[in-house]
C-alpha cells in the first residue's frame, strides 16, 4: 500500500464520518447550519480523496474543469437567484439532476464497457438507470406541478393509470432482463424510456398538496441511485453515503406523512385528495357550491382589527405567492404599537412544504417566539378576537374534524372557527390544493376579503394609519 492510497483511505473514512454527523446535525435547529457546512466539507474531502487515488490525464482534467464549471456555476446562480417561495420546486430540480448524474454514469459504463462486466455490475447498472430515470422525470413533474406548469389530467385520476404504470414497469423489466445478453443494446434504451415514463406516470396523478412527500421520497430515490452508482464504479464511500441518504430520506418522508395524517401508500396510489377514499369524487363539490358567503372590504376588516386585543394570523401558500410577508410584518407592527397581541399560527404543512411558512416569515424578520405551532395555538383560538387567514385553505377547514365523509377527515387543522371573528383573505373562492369546499367560509363569524394578500394587507395598514395607528408611541 502506497502512502497516497493510505492517505486517500483516511480521507474517505473522515468524509463518511463527517457526512453522518452532518446529516444528524441537520435535524436539530441549533446545529443545522453548521451541520450543513460540515456535510459540504465532507463532500470536498471525498472528492480530494478520490483525486489522490486516481491519476488523471490532462484531457480528463480538462473535461472535469468544464463539467465542474458548468454545473457549479449553474448551481451557484440558481441558489442565489431563486426566491424563497420557490424553494420546494428548487429542491425538486436539484434532486432530479442528482438522479440524472447517476443515470449518466451507469449509461456510460453500460455503453462503453468502462467497468467490470460481472452480474453485480449489471444489476447495479439496471438499478442506477431505472431509479435515476424515475428520479429525474418524477422530480421534473413535481417541479412543474408546484410551479403550476402542469395540471393533473383527468385520466390520471381513473384506474387506467395503474394499468399504464404496470405496463411501463413490465417494459422496464423486459429491457433489464435482455441486458446480460447485450449490455449496450435495445434493452438498455427500452429500460431507460420505460423508467422515464414511469417517473412521469407515478408522479402526475399525485395532488399538489402531497408534493412535499413525493419530493422527499424522490430524494430518497436519488440516494438509492447514488448507492447503485457506487456499486457500478466500485466506490464504498459512494455506497455508504447513498444508502445513508436513501434511508434517511425514507424516514423523513414518513415523518412528513405523519404530520399530514396521510399514509405513504395512500399518497402514492390514492391519487389526488378527493379522489381517494375509494369513493367517487362526489362529496367535495367545487367552488359553485358556496351559498352563504359574506364578503367585506378592507375598511371593515380594519375596524375589527382596531378593537381587537388578540389577533392571530394564519399564513398559507397565498401569502407566499403574493410575497406579502413584509406587508404582513408591517401590519403586525402597527397593531403591536397599539398594544394588540399578535401571533402567527403555523400549521405543519401550510404552504407547499413543511416549514415553508417559518422560512417565509423569518425572511420578514417576524420574531421567532410569535410563530406558534398548531398544538400550542389551538386552545388559544376561543379567546382570540380576530383571526386573519392569509391564503390558507385546507389547513383551516373545520370539516377535517367534524365531517367523516370529507377527504380531509382526520387531518389535524387549525381550529380558527373557534375564534370570535374570522377574515379570510383569498383571491377567489377557488378550492384549496385538496380541491374541496371549505365549510369555514360559510360560518356566520367568517367574512371573505377578496384580493391579493399583499394588496389587502397594504390596504389594511393604510386604513389603520388613517385610524391613527402608528402615530402614538404607546406600547
**What cell was used for 152?**
393533473
Distance CA 77, CA 82 (A): 8
Examine residue 470 and tell whether it contacts other proteins (CB under 8 A).
no
Examine residue 40 and tell whether it contacts other proteins (CB under 8 A).
yes
Examine residue 180 and tell whether it contacts other proteins (CB under 8 A).
no
Distance CA 255, CA 434 (A): 20
Residue nearer to other proteins on the CB measure, 1 or 59? 59
Window 349 to 408, contacts with other proteins (CB under 8 A) = 349, 353-356, 358-359, 362-363, 365, 367-369, 373
Would you mind telling me the total number of residues written for the chain in this entry? 475
Distance CA 119, CA 380 (A): 62
Residue 259: partners with Cβ closer than 8 Å, 6 or more residues away? 348, 349, 354
Window 267 to 306, contacts with other proteins (CB under 8 A) = none
Distance CA 413, CA 83 (A): 28
Known catalytic residue at 385? no
Contact flags string 113-142 toward other proteins, x per CB under 8 A = -xx----x----------------------
Distance CA 448, CA 351 (A): 20
Residue with grid cell 422525470, as numbered in its chain: 137
Distance CA 427, CA 424 (A): 10
Residue nearer to other proteins on the CB measure, 20 or 321? 20
As a whole number of angstroms, the longest Cα–Cα distance in the chain is: 83
In whole angstroms, the minimum distance from the beta carbon of 285 to other proteins comes to 30
How many C-beta atoms lie closer than 10 Å to residue 150's C-beta? 17
Examine residue 70 and tell whether it contacts other proteins (CB under 8 A).
yes
Marked catalytic residue, from 394, 403, 417, 452 = 394
How many C-beta atoms lie closer than 10 Å to residue 81's C-beta? 9
3-state secondary structure 176-196: HHCCCCCCCCHHHHHHHHHHH
Q: Which of 105, 202, 308, 320 binds other proteins (CB under 8 A)?
A: 105
Window 234 to 273, contacts with other proteins (CB under 8 A) = 234-252, 255-256, 259
Torsions phi, psi of 166, nearest 5?
Answer: -65, -40
Residue nearer to other proteins on the CB measure, 195 or 425? 195
Sheet holding 310-315, edge to edge: 371-373, 341-346, 310-315, 386-390, 421-426, 446-450
Size of the site for other proteins (CB under 8 A): 116
In whole angstroms, the minimum distance from the beta carbon of 280 to other proteins comes to 33
Examine residue 26 and tell whether it contacts other proteins (CB under 8 A).
yes
Examine residue 412 and tell whether it contacts other proteins (CB under 8 A).
no
In whole angstroms, the minimum distance from the beta carbon of 50 to other proteins comes to 6
Stretch near other proteins under the rule CB under 8 A, chosen from 78-86, 271-279, 283-291, 441-449: 78-86
Q: Which of 13, 14, 50, 321 binds other proteins (CB under 8 A)?
A: 50
Examine residue 438 and tell whether it contacts other proteins (CB under 8 A).
no
Q: Which of 7, 13, 52, 84 binds other proteins (CB under 8 A)?
A: 84
In whole angstroms, the minimum distance from the beta carbon of 214 to other proteins comes to 11
Q: Which of 192, 200, 226, 324 binds other proteins (CB under 8 A)?
A: 226
Window 316 to 345, contacts with other proteins (CB under 8 A) = none
**What cell was used for 184?**
449496450
Residues forming the active site: 394
Amino acid at each position: 500500500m502506497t502512502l497516497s492510497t493510505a492517505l486517500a483511505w483516511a480521507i474517505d473514512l473522515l468524509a463518511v464520518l463527517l457526512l453522518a454527523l452532518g446529516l444528524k446535525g441537520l435535524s436539530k435547529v441549533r446545529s443545522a447550519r453548521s451541520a450543513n457546512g460540515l456535510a459540504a466539507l465532507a463532500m470536498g474531502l471525498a472528492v480530494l480523496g478520490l483525486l489522490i487515488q486516481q491519476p488523471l490525464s490532462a484531457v480528463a482534467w480538462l473535461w472535469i474543469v468544464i463539467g465542474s464549471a458548468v454545473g457549479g456555476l449553474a448551481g451557484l446562480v440558481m441558489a442565489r437567484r431563486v426566491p424563497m417561495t420557490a424553494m420546494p420546486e428548487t429542491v425538486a430540480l436539484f434532486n432530479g439532476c442528482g438522479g440524472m448524474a447517476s443515470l449518466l454514469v451507469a449509461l456510460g459504463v453500460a455503453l462503453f464497457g468502462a467497468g467490470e462486466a460481472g452480474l453485480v455490475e449489471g444489476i447495479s447498472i439496471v438499478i442506477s438507470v431505472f431509479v435515476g430515470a424515475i428520479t429525474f422525470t418524477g422530480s421534473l413533474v413535481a417541479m412543474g406541478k408546484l410551479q403550476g406548469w402542469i395540471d393533473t389530467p383527468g385520466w390520471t385520476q381513473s384506474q387506467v393509470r395503474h394499468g399504464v404504470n404496470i405496463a411501463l414497469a413490465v417494459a422496464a423489466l423486459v429491457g433489464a432482463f435482455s441486458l446480460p445478453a447485450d449490455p449496450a443494446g435495445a434493452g438498455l434504451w427500452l429500460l431507460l424510456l420505460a423508467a422515464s415514463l414511469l417517473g412521469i406516470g407515478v408522479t402526475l396523478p399525485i395532488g399538489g398538496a402531497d408534493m412535499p412527500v413525493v419530493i422527499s421520497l424522490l430524494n430518497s430515490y436519488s440516494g438509492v441511485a447514488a448507492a447503485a452508482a457506487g456499486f457500478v464504479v466500485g466506490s464504498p464511500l459512494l455506497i455508504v453515503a447513498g444508502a445513508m441518504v436513501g434511508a434517511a430520506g425514507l424516514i423523513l418522508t414518513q415523518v412528513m406523512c405523519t404530520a399530514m395524517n396521510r399514509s405513504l401508500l395512500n399518497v402514492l396510489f390514492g391519487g389526488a385528495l378527493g379522489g381517494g377514499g375509494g369513493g367517487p369524487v362526489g362529496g367535495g363539490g367545487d367552488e359553485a357550491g358556496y351559498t352563504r358567503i359574506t364578503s367585506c372590504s378592507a375598511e371593515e376588516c380594519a375596524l375589527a382589527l382596531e378593537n381587537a386585543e388578540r389577533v392571530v394570523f394564519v399564513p398559507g401558500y397565498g401569502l407566499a405567492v403574493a410575497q406579502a410577508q413584509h406587508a404582513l410584518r408591517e401590519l403586525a407592527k402597527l397593531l403591536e404599537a397599539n398594544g394588540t397581541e399578535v401571533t402567527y399560527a403555523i400549521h405543519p404543512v401550510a404552504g407547499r412544504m413543511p416549514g415553508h411558512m417559518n422560512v417565509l416569515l423569518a425572511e420578514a424578520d417576524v420574531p421567532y417566539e410569535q410563530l406558534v405551532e398548531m398544538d400550542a395555538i389551538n386552545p388559544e383560538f376561543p379567546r382570540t378576537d380576530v383571526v386573519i387567514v392569509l391564503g390558507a385553505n385546507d389547513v383551516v377547514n373545520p370539516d377535517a374534524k367534524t365531517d367523516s365523509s370529507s377527504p380531509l377527515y382526520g387531518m389535524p387543522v387549525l381550529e380558527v372557527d373557534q375564534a370570535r371573528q374570522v377574515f379570510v383573505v383569498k383571491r377567489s373562492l377557488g378550492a384549496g390544493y385538496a380541491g374541496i369546499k371549505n365549510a369555514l367560509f360559510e360560518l356566520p363569524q367568517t367574512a371573505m376579503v377578496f384580493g391579493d394578500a399583499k394588496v389587502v394587507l397594504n390596504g389594511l395598514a393604510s386604513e389603520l394609519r388613517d385610524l391613527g395607528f402608528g402615530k402614538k408611541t404607546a406600547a
